[in-house]
Amino acid sequence: MKFLGKFEGIAYALLRIVIGFLFACHGAQKLFGVLGGHSMVHNPQMLVAGIVEFVGGVLIAIGLFTRIAAFISSGQMAVAYFTVHAHANGSFVPIVNQGESAVMYCFIFLYIATHGTGKWGIQKNG
């Protein structure tokens, strides 16, 4: 499948854009109570989470300060897993404690933080 290699830059850009957009949607739920969510700005921890998710997701999607936004977002998802999911349902296993998305976001953002912006971003080496 070596022929797919020529699409690596495009595939990475699409990954960054889509994941950033989806993460921003999580933040929008917490901050603005949209997209089927409820505003959680009254809870300081959820307010910070919403800001990191919304701002971080937008920055990652548009490719601006990508590395730092992704690094902070990765850390926030690690914190979310260990504070909310790790002990839920009596299991540390993500599929059991419903923490799969937190773990996936954490490691995708860690990869994005090491890779940078790539194609179609505002900041070329971000």
Is 2 part of any domain? no
Inform me whether the pLDDT recorded for 65 exceeds 90: yes
Whether residue 16 is contained in a domain is answered as yes
Residues of the domain holding 111: 11-115
pLDDT bracket for residue 123 (50, 70, 90): confident
How confident is the model at residue 34, as a pLDDT? Answer: 97
Structural domain contains residue 122? no
CA distances (Å), origin 83, targets 1, 12, 17, 47: 41, 30, 27, 15
Structural domain count of the chain: 1
Question: Residue 56 falls within a domain, yes or no?
Answer: yes
In a domain, 34, yes or no: yes
75-100 pLDDT tens trace:
999 999 999 998 888 899 999 999 99
Distance CA 102, CA 124 (A): 27
- Confirm whether 120 is domain-assigned: no
Per-residue pLDDT averaged across 40-58, rounded? 97
Q: What pLDDT digit, counting tens, does each position of 19-34 carry?
A: 999 999 999 999 999 9
Domain-located, residue 101? yes
pLDDT of residue 88: 85
Average pLDDT over residues 3-20: 96
Q: What are phi and psi of 5, to 5 degrees?
A: -55, -30
87 found inside a domain: yes
